[in-house]
Amino acid sequence: MRFNDIVAVAKRELLVITNYKFSFLVLFLGSFYLGTYLSMAYTNLIPDPQIRMDTYLAFFFLSTEIACSWALSTIQVQDYMRQRCMETILATPLSLASILLGKSLAIFILSYIPSLLCTIIVFCQANLPLGLTALVFPSSVGWILFFISPVLLFGIICLNTLQLMYLNHSMGSLIAVFVIYLLVFRTGAHFSSGIGLTVLGGYVLGLLCVFLLSYIGLKFLKKERIVLAL
Partner 1 sequence: MENNIIEVSNVTKVLGGHAVLSDINFQVPKGLVFGILGPNGSGKTTLLRILLGLITPDTGEVKVLGQNPVSMTREDKNGIGFVLEDHGVNERLTAYQNIDFFAQVYGLAKEKRRARILEMLDKVDLSAYIKKPVGTFSKGMKQRLSLARALIHEPRILFLDEPTSNLDPEGTVYIRNLILKLSSEEGITIYINSHDLDEVERICTRIVIMKHGNIMLQGAMADLLRPNNQTTLEVKLEESEAFPKLVNLLNTLSFVTHFKIEKGAAFIELIDDSSRLTLFNTLAQNSIPIKEITQIKNSLEDLYISIVKEEEHHEVQ
94 near partner 1 (CB under 8 A): yes
- Per the CB < 8 A criterion, the answer to whether 102 and 6 are in contact is yes
Q: Which is nearer to partner 1, 157 or 226 (CB)?
A: 226
Question: Which residues, 6+ apart, have CB-to-CB distance to 201 below 8 Å?
Answer: 187
Query: What is the distance of C-alpha 172 from the center of its chain?
Result: 16
79 near partner 1 (CB under 8 A): yes
19 near partner 1 (CB under 8 A): yes
- Interface residue with partner 1 among 15, 167, 197, 208 (CB under 8 A) is 15
175 near partner 1 (CB under 8 A): no
5 near partner 1 (CB under 8 A): yes
135 near partner 1 (CB under 8 A): no
204 near partner 1 (CB under 8 A): no
Residue 205, classified by CB atoms within 10 Å of its CB into exposed (0-12), middle (13-18) or buried (19+), is middle
- Per the CB < 8 A criterion, the answer to whether 32 and 129 are in contact is no
In whole angstroms, what is the distance from residue 36 CA to residue 31 CA?
Answer: 8
Binding site for partner 1 (CB under 8 A): 4-5, 7-8, 11-12, 15-16, 19-20, 79, 82-85, 87-94, 223-224, 227-228
